[in-house]
Amino acid sequence: MTYSFDLGGRTAVVTGANTGLGQAIAVAMAQAGASIVAVGRSAMDETERLCRAGGADFHSVQVDLSTLEPIERIVADATSLSGRIDILVNNAGIIRRADAIDFTEKDWDDVMNVNLKSTFFLSQAVARTMLADGRGGKIINIASLLSFQGGIRIPSYTASKSGLAGLTRLLACEWAGKGINVNAIAPGYFVTNNTEALRNDPKRSGEILGRIPAGRWGDPTDLGGAAVFLASSAANYIHGVVLPVDGGWLAR
């Protein structure tokens, strides 16, 4: 038996693909041969350029996943372009920072709506198309170290990412026997918009770097290989895993 990481002939929907981790995942999958449907709140010109540089087909859907309204359009656009969705990467996410004692209902709801609610209902909508033709597919959720740990000053983010780990396992239990692999990646501390405040705080940045055995913040490109692996046929018997990509953070 041979194992292939080739994604040729497959269509991948990647949310939050306009910047950071989502962009890096979309580019990695494009380089592995997938056609990319990039979903994001802002223009995705740079993501398109990087994906097309490798010869990949590319289509963007500019929407805000803070509500469920765009879900039907995302699925319709993706399926009309290529016939089916083979891979879904739920990467879109936001964060709000405040002490738990001062945290507002709005900051709670805003984060949960994007990070957990929309992720579930987009997965549901895509899974329906995968089940309809009996060909299955791959769903990859982008979790976090906060799926394992508590963190500080990010209560809704921690709750959403802990919930996402549980949701990953539940969907794997329900859909593994139907040909759909549901797994998650838990990034460590990466250079993204979400970590800008931490990186600009010398004390916090020093504390974080001091615990990472690899000795550096993650670069978004460090995540691409894990995403391609979980999307490929090499991962056909992997279900319900939350895979840390963290420079060794959890090992310390």
CATH code of the domain containing 35: 3.40.50.720
Domain count, the chain: 1
Catalytic residue among 3, 157, 189, 237: 157
The answer to whether residue 189 is catalytic is no
Q: What is the pLDDT of residue 36?
A: 98
129 inside domain = yes
Q: Which domain does 42 fall in, by range?
A: 11-251
Residues 225, 117, 86, 132: what is their CA dihedral angle, to the nearest 10 degrees?
A: 160
Q: What is the pLDDT of residue 2?
A: 60
Q: What is the pLDDT of residue 20?
A: 95
Q: What is the pLDDT of residue 194?
A: 82
Among residues of the chain, what percentage have pLDDT more than 90?
Answer: 95
2 inside domain = no
d(Cα 144, Cα 164) in Å, to the nearest integer?
A: 9
46 inside domain = yes
Q: What is the pLDDT of residue 82?
A: 85
d(Cα 102, Cα 224) in Å, to the nearest integer?
A: 37
Tens digits of residue pLDDT in 165-191: 999 999 999 999 999 999 999 999 999
Tens digits of residue pLDDT in 19-57: 999 999 999 999 999 999 999 999 999 999 999 998 999
- The low-confidence residues of the chain, meaning pLDDT below 70, are 1-3
6 inside domain = no
Q: What is the pLDDT of residue 81?
A: 87
243 inside domain = yes
CA nearest 120: which of 175, 77, 61, 79? 175
Q: CB–CB of 155/222 below 8 Å?
A: no
5 inside domain = no
Q: In DSSP terms, which residues pair with 35 in a beta bridge?
A: 11
